[in-house]
Every structure is written in structure tokens, then in C-alpha cells.
Structure 1
């Protein structure tokens, strides 16, 4: 082994004596004997092998390790005669031991070639290694070549193999950090040290692990795909030291020379939160005996006996017990993705070891990291933005709104000054809208409520969808999606509502909207609520969708108007026409009949060209358009096939009165487009020099634009 490896071993339970030294160059070209099968193995050079990593010597497995494959491939055209090697390196057999779904016989070769890794020094070699190792560990199983181990999962067989090789004297343990180098804050390189008489928690205990698996199987995990990682980490977790000799902390009860290691006791600290307020006022630390904890946390023993033993008033003990019963089990623990292999694993292990099943955790949510202007934040190296500074510069609600909108689940959030300024402007717009509604309500809207127009019904109907989407997102802890629905989408709806001249529904909307936004921007919502209702908004019930306010007809009408306006604006943008007048041609009756027939047959599961043609040709009006009807029908069938049954049923049972809608909204179109608008039926046109009316279809009126420049018409 390397000298560096010898130095590391001195910090373990091994007695190390150097009996001689030999250079690595001298070993190249020699043969080693594989102790497992007695095979002779040629020793080759590789630039990626470091004397500071492990023993300094690597057993090459080019079928499964990208660096090993690259090191071998790099030697294919190299003259190795100086090492006494005359063999053709290309003749070395690749041995496949792991089968991975979706990968071929030699995963390292396949992934390396797929990523285009050039050699051992290519940074992509590290990425290839992570991909192969991750897929082999999580989904790989051993091949028939491994004999009695064939079919075993890689994630489960590692410990079995290590134990067997150690029993046969073929292997020993070498403790190393998973990532190198680890540098102390004092600047010295760290090594793993084994401490004599150390205390361990036996996380490898199979019965304990089964309990944790059972707990995990009942839990809600967010995002759901993180479950596999938890399962793999439970497999991976080994015995861990639970005490140390130096630092601050609680003495190990049965061995006062040791201090409990922080991770070993901090992972049920949610139970300590329940106690903390009592310790500060009504309980002294020395009164917290084992019988006290057994009663408060486990319900074991009697409150009278605990009161006599500890001197804590009986009613205080009962209050603590009641608080614990209220808060336990833990409904949801939210934590960073880097804590899955430590804090969160111990959280599960310790709760299953201490508490009865009905007090086991019910859920875990995982979040990502936070960076600052694209750079990872670091307490020691920077950059760093504290919550206190963010609130001082931008305010609590702006900070909350930005953080909640940037990422969700395991995605990393990036704090950028330019983006937070944009969020601040959106919040200021919300505040202005709210105050305008309050002021108008106070001066002009106290009179009897008017009957709601279509646009009022549309706004309140759309809002019910926003409420549903927000609740669904919050249940899944998808804060960005929740905020998108509760805040930004409602702002978009209000833009259209204001364009359409709506105002009657605003007071009702504001009352519910502020409650919907309270989890995101509580301070502003509380202020607004104080102007329009009694009490605190934080004590008001959270909104739920009101099905009586959902108006599909109003939604369809406004969607129809929006689509027509967008189509016209797009034409004007492309053609650069300054319109004097725009004519909208509504659909002829024969096309409506074809459309309704196709909808009806879709709902009867009979939407095919032959059957539709057979039905529509019974209509004399359709037959008069014999050449045009089949082409139109074919296009309509393709469109209706994409519809959901719900949409098709609505369109069939309640077709929109298009001419009526366009006539009612003519003045709105004129204001938006700054020109005259004329509505004509495609069957009775008074002016159509370019035969645009023949393009009119259900839900898509034909458009003819008369330019102020008479030579430029579309």
C-alpha cells in the first residue's frame, strides 16, 4: 500500500510497521494473484490512481468502473515494453458481474461512450462514474457468473460479500471519507480516527431496519420519488458512533466519560420543543427523570407517582402530556435533501426505537438548497444572505413571496436581486388593487348589489378553480405551483376582467383572495382584512371552492372572446395593418350541424368518418355543400377526437350563441382594436370581396380586415 495509506491506518485499530519500500513503477508489468479465484492479474499504470485514496492500488473492473475502462483504453496504443509488458492489452477480457435494466453487458463502456468521455482526465469521467454506480447500486443485480450470489440486489449483497471475505481472511476494513479531501477549518487534512472504547448505535440491526421500513411504507413523502432514496439509504446505513469525548453536550448516562454525539440525540427534538416552554418556567432540568419521560412520551406509569418522584406539580405533568398528545405523531418534517443520509434517517430510526407505532412519523418533505446570484451560499466562505438582512432590505412578505415562488421540493432556489425586485412590483400591484377595491367599495358600492354580468360570473368561477389548484398544491407542498395559482394567475384573470369593464365582483373576490394568500404574505393580508372584515385573518377559515359559483357557460363565453381578440391582434401584428373596420363572419348552419353531429357521435363512441358522413348527408342543407362537406368533416373529426368527453358533452348540450355574444361585445372589440366592428352571418353577407366567410367555423368566426389604406385588406 501507499505511504499515505499507512499513515491513515495509524489512526485506526491497526498496528502499522513499514518493512520496506518499493516504487509503483517497479510493480508495473508484474502479476498479482486474485485471492478469491487464484487468477493471475497483470499490474498496469493509470494516471487517475492516487496514493491518497484508499490503499493507493486499484483492482480494475473496466466493465463496471468508467475510470478503469478509460485507463485501460488509454493504454491500447501505448508502447509498454519499458515495463516489460509484451501482451496485447486489447486481449484483456472484460468480466460482467452486474446486470442493470436499460444498460448493456458492460455499463461502464456504454455510459462512457454515450457521454463522449475522451480519457481519464476528462471531467465527464466523474459524471459517468456517478451514473454507473448509482444505477448499479439502486437497480443492479448480480449475474450468473457470481455463482451463489446470482440474482441478489447490489444494494443488499455488499455487506454479505464483505463479511464473507473478511471471514475467509481475504479482506479487511479500511475507513475512508466518501469524498476527498476533507480539510479542517484550521487548514489540516482530516483522516478517519478510530476511538478506543467508542459507543455505537447498531443501525445495521436487521430487526430495527425492518421496523423503519414499515414506518416508511406508511409515510407520505414529498416529492414521492424520494422514497427510493430513503429505502436505499436505510439499506446503506451502518453502525454509527453515538458519543464523543470533547465538546459541549449531555453526558452519556451509563458512561460519564462520554458526551452524546449531537446527531444521536437531536433527531427527536420535536418532542423537546413540547418540553422547552415548561423547562423555561415550571420545570428544572434535574427533575426530568426517566419515569417522567416514560409517562409524558409513552404514557407509561402514573402521573401521581411521577409527581411524587420529581416534585413537579401534577397539573404541570398533565399539561405536558396533553401537549405531547396534541402534537404527536409528527405530521410532516420538512428538511434539506442533504440530510436524507443522516438527520432524516436517524429521525426514522430513533422514533421507531422509542415510540409506539401510533406515534411514528407520518410524513417528510424534502427541499433543495439556496444559492445567491448563482453561487452556493457558505457560512465560512460566502456569499451569504441572512434572513434578517433579506427582511430588512425587502420586508417579510416580499421575502416570503420570492422564496416560495422560486423552487419547490428538491429544486434549488437562487436568490437574485433583479428577480426579487420584479416580485416586489407584483406585490405592490396587489396592494394597489386591494386598496382601490376598498376605497371604491366605501364610496360607491354600499348600495344594493347589482345582478352580475357574464364577466362577473366568469371571474368568480375562475377563482374557484384557483382555490382548488392552490389547495391541491399545498397538500402536496408544491409551494411554487400553489403561489402561481393563488397569486399570479388571479392577477392575470384580473387583467382580463378589468379590460372587460368588470367591477361588481371585486369586493367578494378580495375577501376570499386575501384569505387564500395568507400563508404566503400574511402581513399584507392581515392589513387588508382589517379594512373589510372583523377579527384576525389568521383565525379565519381557509377558503374552499364554492361549486355554486362555477359557471361553465360564462367561462366558455369569455374564452371565446379572448381567442377571437388574440387571433385579430396576431393578424394585425403580422400584417402591420392599421384597421378601419373589421368584419366577423359567424358560422353557417350546415357547419354547425356537422359539428353537433360529430359531437353526438363522439359521446356515443361512434366517431368515424363513414358514420359521420352517413348521418350528415341526411341533411339537405349539408348535401348542397357536397364537395366541401367531406373535407370539413374530416378536419372536425380530428379536432373533436382530441376533446375530453366533458368538453364534448358541454359543447353538444349547450352550444354557444356566437352571433349573440359577438353582438354584445362589439363595443369592447371596437375599444380594444380602435376601429369599427361589424358582425355578419356567413350565410347572409353584405360585404365579402375576398370570400373570407367560407372559412367561418363553429367557435372560429372568419375575420376580414379593411385597412385605412384601401389597397391593403386582409
Structure 2
């Protein structure tokens, strides 16, 4: 141990080398069903940041914990290595993305190893290698065979800075900015390849309810993104254009439709733009689908309401979207906020046809229409001014109208759209398609996969367009001249199945070993950022379901349990280079050690919560590890020879309690609580050693428990101390400590001891007792425990009367009545305590702590030995206290 503390650098280097040499973290292929623990693999940006460290410490700690519990554990790591940032970095540095990416991987691997993360590096993958992306291409072709791939013209999100298409999920915020560079996104019409995720929309939605191990917030985000709506489709006739279908979830409001609206890119709108200058100007110059203020232009056309026969004006409006519903809608300003705003702006009638249901409504009268002059009434209610449907409740009216209107039929719409995977960039998986003038798009024969990327060309736009020699080829079908597809795949394709590749990373004839995947999947515990709640997780679920349907995968969901970890902040702000508030993990490792960084982050907050980085907290954590090492060294150097007495009994009970509670917290991934327990036991052991000569067996058991409980989070020093204590093998493979004790019992015992100590402090302070000479703690009589149990279990209105039915309670006279009143007053908050004998034993074993604090002898008195004057104040869980001064 150095003067400044223990030599963390030497300790960590020694055990990292020992783990590598012994292959401690390797998962053999022949295990039947390992516990699969996985952190979302990183993009190799060059250096780890604190978010990485927190994410991977969580998975590493849990993997280590499960290994110590006897599980075979699969804990791999790889690299989400394709993507535009590497391509841009290569352009800026006049190099190529491959070299840049692998340099970053090398750097980050070294940093991960310095953190002591226990990965099975033999399973490492990098998605930018042909050995991996060959299977992206193979899967694309399988999806194509099953009718799940489509090529079509589509309006897409285009980032002019990145010069590529973005998925809807990659466009962020109301300002519609690129998720990578914050450039405003434009709309373009391009021919794109799509994966038909909408074919699985219903299952993706309905199976969310079964994801009980996922955070509710993530499940709701996925429900919202899929956005299933039940409603009706109904036709409105537009003069000169025939029937136009509108989708509505509120056909009950159809009598209040006062205008009809078309999306700017609806076929009728585009046709009108060719002959109507106002419409053309609006579409080309004014329409802003992302604006807060709805806008539109009147077309001069009218649409016929199929229920009332009324002619209503037709507008082209920018708040109508072609890919939501049918791109046409009946507008009811009285009952839709957006329609209301538009109607106010354009001076269109606002006609209420739904009224709130009166509290005393019997159905015999029709309520008055609401005042909607200021805002729309959007809830269900009772139909008014709706002809024969007036007086019906909204739900009933929707059913009747859908049945009665000839063109109306039930319909389901989704917000979810097919997944456009085409990207106009180099550093991604080449889409395995060849374009032939005669044959059209033809998939590359399987035996010719992978289609490898050519050498990088530093150019604007799509570099693959400039790779002429690579691009020119022959058609697999007719042998004629043809060109390769120059778009590459969205990198979310890479991450939609990578967890399967870890299972058999070297397999050469399939993307994954089916039999092994069926045994090992799904991932038991997955950890990653909340920012992936929609894109990555939804796409992974989609891929898993397709593979279950067409490749024999036995599981339809990829991840059983999901933890979305919080951010690491500095002074309340997310760490970022732009803010200049980044704390370097490498500096922390060099100054304090990896164990300190890991332990500080894991004890600072629950994994799901954000927390503030604190240099003071880091130093305090390092000091704790240094003290613990000193305690072990002191024990090994000078083994104590104390008695196995009441104090040792208390310490033994605390060891059991800590093991029981910390184990439960590790199971729940609430590491901060498990570590708080462990540090509490360390303090108890230190107090024990300072109070008396410890009993060697008890003290060594306590130290060993602390070391093993810390091992998942601070593995290096745990190995060092395990070794110093004479432990066999590696702490990483040691058996998890066990305790035959009930968790609830432990909590009650601790609460009793702490409440009693707090009550003594209060009495000393209020009474102004400076030097207590004796402290008596008096246990309540048995009848009060019986009364408490009756009060908890009883639902009788007259609790005192029920208590008095018990003769041994009734015999206590006024004392029983007074206690019954106390129980009645606190009835909702009552909870069971320990029994009188257990209370007596617990307080007697903890008396030494009270004696140390107040420097006075403590006597724990049973009820039958106590004077009545003191005994009357004793209650279950709150013994009476008498202090002599």
C-alpha cells in the first residue's frame, strides 16, 4: 500500500492479467442455457465516455453476480462499427473509414480492459467486417423472398449536411433536426428500399403487454410509435374527382363536418396545382407540415357529406399528412383542436354536434350544445343536432353510423410506417441488388455474398456512385450489362440481430446457430440508453419475429428484461464536448483506479436515474476501498482472539442481514442499495474491532462477505483481498455468500434497533442529560403484541370492543382501553413487529452499540421484570426507555 493509498494500478494490472491467462470470462459452446447479459454495443468513436462506463459497469456487475451465483454467463462485446460519423471523420482526415474505425476499436478495447470488464472477447464482433455484413445481405435476401422487402418511390427525410436519408425516428424535435448533426431536415422524393415492418404492426403492439421486464415508459413509447387507431373510412364525393376516402376515429361527429381537407401531396392536390396558381403557390412556397400554425388554401371545390348531403368546401391543408390515414380528412372544428384553429383562421363555421353528458342524464332529453367558440370539445358525449342520431352516446353513434352509411366501414390505421433502409453513403452494408435494364432489380446470388465495399473514395454525395469499376457488373439472370445498387443499409439493420451473432460468431454457413440460439435466447438482461427505446428495440423485435417465422428461431422477443440507464451529469448538465464538461474515464482510472470509478457510479444512484459526477465522491470512494484493504491487512497480520459473545452474535446477525438484503438488491439490479448495505457492514466490522477484541471466525466471515459482495462492482480489489484472506481460486468464481435469514425479519430487527437508539438520543437531548449513568430498555408485555396483531387483521368498526373480547387483554383494564385507543388512532399505519422474545434478543445483542455511543451500561429488561410505571410506556417495536443521570 502506497503512502497515498493502496497501489490500485499494480493491483488492477495484476488481476487483469490473471483473468486473461485463466480465461475466466469465456463461455463454452456446450453449456445448455447460460444467463445472457448484454449491454448495447457501442459505436467506436475513439474513446469511452462516462455514459459508456456506467452502462458497461451495470452489465459487468450483474454478469459477475450471476456467475458467483453459479450461473453459466454469456457476456460478450462488439462494435456497432458502420455509420456516417466514421465516414465524415475519414473525409476530414483524408483517410478511410475502415482504418479510422479499427483504430477507434483498438483504443476503446484497451480502455474497456483497463476498466476490468469481464467480456468473452473470443465472441467479439464488428459489424463493418465482411464476415458480419455478409449476413446482413443474406437476411435482406431472405426477407425479400418472404415478401418483406419493397422498392418504391417515397418522400424521405434528407439531411443536406450528411447527404443521406434518415428514418423518421432519426429526425428529432419540433425543429425536425438530423439526430447526428442537428441540421434541419428536408423532404425529397427518392426510390428507396423498405422492410415491411408494418406487416408485424399488430403483433409488435400486442406483445408489448407481455414485456413485463421492460420499463413502462419504454413500452408506452413503443405503443405510441406504432400508433394503432380504430375508426372508420368513409367516402366524400368531390366534384369532378369522384369518391375520396377519409379516415376518422370520430364518425360520430360527421354532422359537424364543415370543410374537407387534402394533404399537399394528395393526388388531387397535385392535379389541382397544375391548373390552380393559388394551390401551386401554397404547396411549393407556404405549406409547412411541421409548423405550429395550421395553414391551407381553398380549392374552389366542394365535397358532399354522405350523411347530410351538405356541400362543404375543400381545402389543401399542411396539417394533413399523406402517410397518416388516407391523406384526406373530414374536418370538424367544434370537436378537434387543430380543425378549430384552422376554421378560426379561415372563417369557417364551427358547428357543435357533441355535448358533454350531464351528471343527471337519463337519456330522455337531449342536452344543449356546448359553447365551442373559444376551444373545441374533444371528449365523447351525447350527439346533438345530428338528425336521427341525436341523443345517442358517442360510442353507440359510431357503431350505428358505420353500419348505416353505405360507403363507411370499420378501419384500423397505424402511425408506424415501413422501415426505409436505403442510405446514400459509403460506410454501411451494400444492399445486395443488381439493376438490369431488362430484368429490373435482381438480388445477388447467395454464393456471391458478401458484396464487399470497394476502396473508399473521398467525394461529395454517395461515394459508391463514384466507384465505377465496382459498380459496373453483369446481371445474374440474363448476363447482360448491369450496375450494382449504390445505396447502403441503415445501420439499425446491423443492430437488429447482432445479439444472435454473439451466440456463434465464427459460424460460416449461417448467421447464427439455430439450435444454440433456441437454447440461449432470449437475452436475460439487456442494458442501454432510453434514446433507443423506439428505433433499435422496435427493429430488434421485428427481426426476431421474422426469424421466428422463417428461420426456426424458437423465440419471438429478443430481450426478457430491459434496463434503461440514466445519464452521468456534471453540475446538473449532461456531459458533452461542446459544453466542455467531460470527465475523462482514463484520468479517473489513472488517479483513483477502475474500481473506484465503478464503485462510485454504482453507489451514487439507482441505475435508471441520472446522477451528478462528484470528484469529492470519487475521493471518498477511494478512501473507503483503502480503509477496507487496511482492515483486511490488519486482520491477516494480527489475527484477533476475542470471545464468541453477545457482541459477536450481533455482528453475525448483521452479516446475515447484509447478505440477505444485498443479494435481493443485486437480483433487482438496485446496486446502490446493495452497496449501501455492504458499506454498512464494513462500518459495523470497524466498530466491532474498535470496541473489543473480535472473535476471529466472526470477523473473518464478515470481511469475506464484504469482499464477495463488493466483487461484482469492484472486482480488482476484491480479488486482492480474497487472496489475502486465503480464499481459493478467483473471487470472480467464488461462491456468493449465503445467509439463512428472512428478509422481513431482518428489516424489522434493524428498524427496532435504530428506532430505539433514536428514542434514546431524543430523550437525552430533550432532558438535557449530559452524562447518562445507566440506560434501561423495557420490552412491552405479551398482551400488547396480541392486541397489535388483532388490530392489524381486524376490519371491525369497533376495534376496542373486539379487543375486549379477549379475556387476557380485557383483564388489563384501563391499560388495555388506552392502548386500544392508540391502535384505533394509528390503524391505517399499523404493521407487525418482532415478537417480545425476538425484540429482547435483538436489543440485548445490540446493547454494545448503545453503550459505545452513550458511554453508559445498558440493560434490556423483559416485561415480567419491569416496574409497572415504566412498563405502561412500552409498545411493540417501541420499548420503554429509562435513563439515569
TM-score, normalising length from structure 2?
0.46
Cross-structure match for 1:422: 620
Q: What secondary structure, in the 3-state scheme, does the structure 2 residue paired with 1:335 have?
A: strand
Q: Which residue in the other structure is 1:199 paired with?
A: 193
Alignment match of 2:585 (pick from 384, 387, 396): 387
Distance change in 2, residues 1:431/1:230 (3 Å): farther
Q: How does 1:402-441 map to 2 (within 5 A)?
A: 402-441=600-639
Per-residue CA deviations over 1:386-444 (Å, capped at 9, x if unaligned) read: 43333223211111112222333542232222222222233333333333333343xx4
Indicate if the aligned counterparts of 1:367 and 1:409 stay in contact, CA closer than 8 A.
yes
Task: Choose between structure 1 and 2: higher helix proportion.
Answer: 1
How far is the alpha carbon of 1:232 from its aligned partner? 2.2
Q: Give the equivalent residue in structure 2 for 1:595.
A: 784
1:362 aligns with 2:559: yes
Q: Cα distance, 1:384 vs. partner?
A: 2.0
- Matched with 2:80 is none
Give the match for residue 673 of structure 1: 854
Identify which of 173, 183, 197 aligns with 1:179.
173
Q: 1:462 to 1:249 in 2, by over 3 A?
A: same
Q: Which residue of 1 is the match for residue 709 of structure 2?
A: 516
**Matched-pair contact (CA < 8 Å) for 1:222–1:477:** no
How far apart, CA to CA, are the structure 1 residues paired with 2:864 and 2:210?
A: 65
User: Given that residues 503 and 513 in structure 2 are in contact (C-alpha distance below 8 angstroms), is that contact kept between their aligned partners in structure 1?
Assistant: no
Give the direction of change, closer, same or farther, for the CA distance of 1:667–1:435 in structure 2 (3 Å limit): closer
Judge conservation of contact 2:840–2:862 (CA < 8 Å) in 1: no
| 1:637 Cα deviation from its structure 2 partner | 6.2
Change (3 A) 1:338 1:696: closer
Task: Give the gaps of 5 or more residues in structure 1.
Answer: 1-174, 300-321, 707-714
Please, which of 798, 810, 821 is the counterpart of residue 634 of structure 1?
821
Do the aligned partners of residues 502 and 601 (structure 1) sit closer, same or farther apart at CA in structure 2, a change above 3 Å counting? farther
Aligned counterparts, 1:450-461, within 5 A: 452-461=644-653
Q: Secondary structure at the match of 1:542?
A: coil
Task: For CA contacts below 8 A with separation 6 or more, give which structure has more relative contact order.
Answer: 2
CA–CA separation in structure 1 for the residues paired with 2:191 and 2:865: 99
> Is residue 268 from structure 1 mapped to residue 455 from structure 2 by the alignment?
no
**CA drift at 1:349:** 1.5
Distance 1:399 1:178, change over 3 A: closer
Could you tell me how far apart the structure 2 residues matched to 1:467 and 1:371 are? Answer: 31
Alpha-carbon distance in 1 for matches of 2:525, 2:847: 54
Change in 2 beyond 3 A, CA 1:634/1:213: same
Structure 2 partner of 1:539 = 733
Residue 694 of structure 2 is matched in structure 1 by: 503
Instruction: State the distance in 1 between where 2:861 and 2:504 align.
Output: 76
How many angstroms apart in 1 are the aligned matches of 2:528 and 2:809?
A: 67
Does 2:345 match 1:353? no
Who is 2:200 aligned against? 208
Go from structure 1 to structure 2 and tell me whether the alpha carbon gap of 1:222 and 1:391 turns closer, same or farther (over 3 Å shift).
Answer: farther
Q: Where does residue 801 of structure 2 map in the other structure?
A: 610
Q: 1:232 aligns with which of 208, 221, 224?
A: 224
Q: Give matches, 1:484-503, under 5 Å.
A: 484-485=676-677, 487-494=678-685, 497=688, 501=692, 503=694
2:673 is equivalent to residue 481 of structure 1? yes
Provide the residue aligned with 1:154 in structure 2.
Answer: none
CA distance in 1, matches of 2:528, 2:736: 25
Note if contact 1:212-1:348 (Cα within 8 Å) is conserved in structure 2. Answer: yes
Task: Give the Cα separation in 2 of the matches to 1:273 and 1:241.
Answer: 26
User: Per-residue deviation at 1:336?
Assistant: 0.4
1:340 correspondence with 2:533: yes
Over residues 359-390 of structure 1, what are the superposed CA-to-partner deviations in whole Å (9 max), with x where a residue is unaligned?
Answer: 44132321222222322122455422343333
Give the whole-Å Cα distance in 2 for the aligned partners of 1:472 and 1:684.
Answer: 39
Q: What TM-score do you get using the length of structure 1 for normalisation?
A: 0.56
Q: How far 1:344 moved relative to its partner?
A: 1.7
| In 1, Cα distance between equivalents of 2:631 and 2:524 | 37
Residue ranges of structure 2 left out of the alignment (5+ in a row): 1-167, 228-414, 435-483
- Counterpart for residue 660 of structure 2: 468
CA contact (8 A) 1:456 1:502 kept: no
CA distance in 1 between partners of 2:847 and 2:608 (Å): 49
Instruction: For residue 526 of structure 1, report the CA deviation from its aligned partner.
Output: 0.7
Is residue 2:510 matched to residue 1:293? Answer: yes
In 2, the alpha carbon distance for the partners of 1:258 and 1:573 equals 77
1:694 deviation in Å?
A: 6.4
Distance across 2 between alignment mates of 1:599 and 1:187? 64
Q: Name the CA distance, whole Å, in 1 between partners of 2:425 and 2:756.
A: 74
Q: Is contact 2:171-2:178 (8 Å) kept?
A: no
